[in-house]
Amino acid sequence: MGLPAPLLAGGFERLVRPLLFASYGGDPEAIHERTILALAGVAGLPPARGALALVAGSSGHPVTVAGVRFPNRVGLAAGMDKDGLAARAWQSFGFGFVEVGTVTAHAQPGNDRPRVFRLRSSEALINRMGFNNAGAEALAATLTQAGVLRGNGGAGIPLGISIGKTKVVALDQAVPDYLRSLATVAPHADYVAVNVSSPNTPNLRTLQDGGALAQLTDALVKRAAELAEGGVPVPIFVKLAPDLAWSQVDEVIAACESAGIAGLIATNTTLARDHLSPADLARANEAGGLSGAPLTARAREVVGYLGRHTRLPVMGVGGVMTKADATALFDAGASLVQLYTGFIYHGPALVAQINADDARRNRP
Ligand SMILES: Cc1cc2nc3c(=O)[nH]c(=O)nc-3n(C[C@H](O)[C@H](O)[C@H](O)COP(=O)(O)O)c2cc1C
């Protein structure tokens, strides 16, 4: 399935990427929106999905994590398909799962544009999107229409749904706001990711503090059990920031373990501005979260710390730009990995390369 990875890489980096990066005046968000709409069209047509998979598909090493069977260990990270418009297209790029969202209980516009910036020499992005999304109910309606329900394989691969706090909801009302999103999306999600780590919603990251996180995770796990009505509750993952001190990571682990959280996702974007190429230093002043190659080392460090300090399964994300970066996260203890910025810069070839390597390394 799919073209050989070197051919796919050459085709993407010589033909597709230059065209994509230059279209719509080079505005990354405009390109992104048009691409998602095009993929939403592809997603609705099985022959088009099949054709895409013939070019870009790949298969890797299957695993079961938190009771969910993943056909391979490479996922699309949250934020790429916030409203789930292309939920059924991602399998055709070789992904073993997709995390749609982040959605919030109330629809919201996000921050003013421009709010995404390319730092090309550093293979990085800075974004301050601010959870622009059509709301949890709109996502549920989109997934209903696409026939995507928890456990039915409607997206072709497991589908996670990331939920966040509505900006206008006060921090002390965060718990009911998240609970509302959980109840809305749970019927469609193979797992739910709790985003308390975006740097672009004021004070959101304080929900990672031990006491606040314990309250939130306890409430979410209890509600998931109620929603399951005696069946198996949807597994809930918590996504961490890379900017926490180890003592704060310990608090996150303690809260998640005692609440019965299914796993951790590490990491979100960083507020740090390390490891940038000199050509990008002016852009580095843009406010927002930095992703891509400058995050590789820190994400690996956090995943390694989690691997040594908790038995909860970890999805590793942050600066996976090569198959070696993915291998390093697996070796550091990640059960699964996710890509965002690496996919923007290297396309489906990166997915294929990681999958091929992972299958080879796990061959009996
Ligand atoms: C433009 C953009 C939007 C993002 N939106 C979200 C989001 O809505 N929810 C979330 O949990 N993470 C979001 N992220 C973070 C990614 O999921 C990922 O954790 C981070 O970018 C690090 O991975 P990477 O280096 O592979 O990009 C976003 C990242 C980018 C670049």
Chain segment 27-47, per-residue pLDDT in tens: 889 889 889 998 888 888 888
The answer to whether residue 102 scores a pLDDT higher than 70 is: yes
Examine the residue annotation and report whether 198 is marked as an active-site residue of this protein: yes
List, chain by chain if needed, residues with CB within 6 Å of any ligand 1 atom.
77-79, 82, 102, 116, 125, 127, 129, 162, 195, 198, 239, 268-269, 291-292, 295, 317-320, 339-342
Residue 245: CB atoms within 10 A of its CB come to 8
* Pairwise CA distance, residues 130 & 2, whole Å: 35
Give the span between the Cα atoms of 351 and 16, in whole angstroms: 16
Distance 38 CA to ligand 1 centre (A): 21
Check residue 1 and give its pLDDT: 67
Task: Assess whether the previous peptide bond of 327 is cis (omega < 30° from 0).
Answer: no
SS3 72: coil
Q: How remote is the CA of residue 340 from the centroid of ligand 1, in Å? A: 6
Question: Of residues 141 and 46, which shows the higher confidence score?
Answer: 141
pLDDT, tens digit, 9 for 90 and up, residues 332-361:
999 999 999 999 999 999 999 999 999 999
Instruction: Specify the ligand 1 atom closest to the Cα of 131.
Output: 8
DSSP 97-118: EEEEEEE-SS-B--SPSP-EEE
Q: Of 45, 60, 96, 61, nearest to 75 (Cα)?
A: 96
12: CATH: 3.20.20.70
Instruction: Confirm if 71 and 59 have CB atoms less than 8 A apart.
Output: yes
| Separation of CA 175 and ligand 1 centre (Å) | 23
| CA of 82, closest atom in ligand 1 | 8
Number of folded domains in the chain? Answer: 1
Q: Is the pLDDT of residue 6 over 90?
A: no
Spacing, Cα 238 to ligand 1 middle (Å): 14
- 223 is in which domain, residue-wise? 5-361
